[in-house]
Amino acid sequence: MSDDKLNQLERLNRLREAGALSDSEFEDQKQAILVGKSRTGSRRLSVLIGLGIVAAIGAIMLVFFWTQGGSNSGDPRAVASPDAPSQGELAVQVAPSQSPTPEATTSVSAGDRLTFATSDQVIGTNPAYLEQRLGIPRERSAGYLVFELGGCTISYSATGSRVTGFTVDVGPSCSPTIRGNRIGPRTTFGEILNRDNWGQFIADCLYGCGNAADPVIALSYRGSRATNFISIRYSTSYDQASDALSLWEQGVRREAGLSEYESPLDYEPFNCASNPPEDARRLMPRMRVRSISVTGDEVGPC
């Protein structure tokens, strides 16, 4: 047998072992080599041998890939530039300073800014820091700042370098969160009392109020050590409070021995009233909140 036929038989056997040829195909090609069949059979053998070589080369390349680069296959940074930060680093990257710059406020959502703006944290802060956190105010004057945030108008009062309090109006586009409780335009005094029943009803004026502003009724939570002496006042509107205010005034007149239209010598019982009669109190739980004031100053019930 010639060397050429031996070489062909060896390659043929390797193809069978590699699964490229079935046993019957192997026998057919073997006989073709031994008896020197037509070129068609030889050509098919050559094609099969070529395919086997290609498959062998592909297997070698695959093994090389896994042995050289497989250890980094689970690390997304393996294909990145060595100087580029990872995705995790980008996600937690923060400015080194503790106070964000005015430009940084653009990356904070309006909801997050509103949460901070209506929290106890603002009481006692510097007005300049407030602007860093909240952005450019709509109005600014000595001791007074007004911001528009998340549909809410928030007015801050300040003394020197210290914010002393703020007021926010509640409405269809403004539902602030106060001490973890969302206050919307349908929130009533009764709902607030169900959460914290130690609140006190107050009326800033019952009679002889002048024309400065309409009198209202408020549910007041006086500051204590537990709240860092920060007080909260939930106020309703005059149209909701008018009937209760009339009943309250009549109750004060009865206690003072005054007739319905008699002018009092002392107006003090009609100002900053805090003990409504029962008929007036029954109307108050269904009144809805229209504004909220938060203050850190030691003030009276009004």
pLDDT tens per residue, range 78-94: 333 334 334 333 333 33
The stretch 98-121 carries a mean pLDDT of 69
Cα separations (Å) of 196 from 27, 128, 175, 212, 232?
A: 94, 34, 19, 32, 12
Q: Running DSSP on this structure, what letter comes out for residue 127?
A: H
The stretch 186-191 carries a mean pLDDT of 98
What the block records as the tokens of 155 is 């007015």
Q: Which helix (H) or strand (E) holds 256?
A: helix 238-256
Q: Which of 21-25, 163-167, 265-269 has the highest mean pLDDT?
A: 163-167
- What is the DSSP code string of 232-245? EEEE--HHHHHHHH
Q: What is the pLDDT of residue 167?
A: 97
What is the model's pTM?
A: 0.63
The stretch 13-20 carries a mean pLDDT of 73
Cα separations (Å) of 27 from 12, 49, 68?
A: 10, 15, 40
| Distance from C-alpha of 137 to C-alpha of 121, rounded to nearest angstrom | 18
Q: What is the pLDDT of residue 138?
A: 95
Q: What is the pLDDT of residue 210?
A: 79
Q: What is the pLDDT of residue 99?
A: 43
Percent of the chain clearing pLDDT 70 (strictly above): 72
Residue 258 has pLDDT above 90, yes or no: yes
The stretch 53-79 carries a mean pLDDT of 47
Top pLDDT among 77 and 144 is at 144
For the chain, how many residues are written? 302
Top pLDDT among 242 and 7 is at 242
Percent of the chain clearing pLDDT 90 (strictly above): 51
Specify which residues 233 forms β-bridges with: 220, 293
pLDDT band for position 302 (cuts 50, 70, 90): confident
Q: Which helix (H) or strand (E) holds 163?
A: strand 162-169
Q: What is the pLDDT of residue 251?
A: 96
Q: What is the pLDDT of residue 109?
A: 73
The stretch 119-139 carries a mean pLDDT of 94
Specify which residues 149 forms β-bridges with: 152
Q: What is the pLDDT of residue 217?
A: 97
What the block records as the tokens of 178 is 């106060």
Q: What is the pLDDT of residue 77?
A: 34
